[in-house]
């Protein structure tokens, strides 16, 4: 009987994209990529969530809605 081994992640594979969605200090809706490589300013929460879900290909747990203010760094 073969034993099960845990599969280790490939260190050469790029990390999966994830987003945080929330408002900035002025109340604008933002979707910010967690590695700082992307994001945007949106007219409403639905648009920000739709963008983040599209960019993460709908992956479970890849988009997080937060209550505290966030910032988009340009």
Half-sphere exposure of 55 (CA within 13 A, CB side): 22
The answer on pLDDT for 28 being more than 90 is: yes
Residue 47 has a pLDDT of: 98
- Which range, of 1-10, 37-46, 49-58, averages the lowest pLDDT? 1-10
Cα dihedral across residues 60, 63, 65, 66: positive or negative: positive
Residue 10 has a pLDDT of: 59
Please list the alpha-helical segments (H only) found in 1-74.
45-55
Q: Provide the phi-psi class of 65: left if phi over 0, else alpha when psi is between -120 and 50, else beta.
A: beta
The answer on pLDDT for 7 being more than 60 is: no
| Total-model pTM | 0.77
Average pLDDT over residues 35-63: 95
Residue 9 has a pLDDT of: 55
């Amino acid at each position: 009987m073969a034993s099960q081994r845990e599969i280790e992640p490939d260190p050469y594979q790029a990390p999966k994209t994830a987003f945080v969605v929330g408002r900035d200090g002025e109340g604008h809706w933002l979707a910010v990529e967690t590695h700082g490589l992307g994001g945007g300013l949106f007219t409403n929460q639905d648009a920000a969530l739709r963008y983040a879900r599209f960019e993460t290909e709908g992956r479970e747990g890849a988009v997080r809605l937060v209550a505290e203010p966030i910032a988009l760094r340009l």
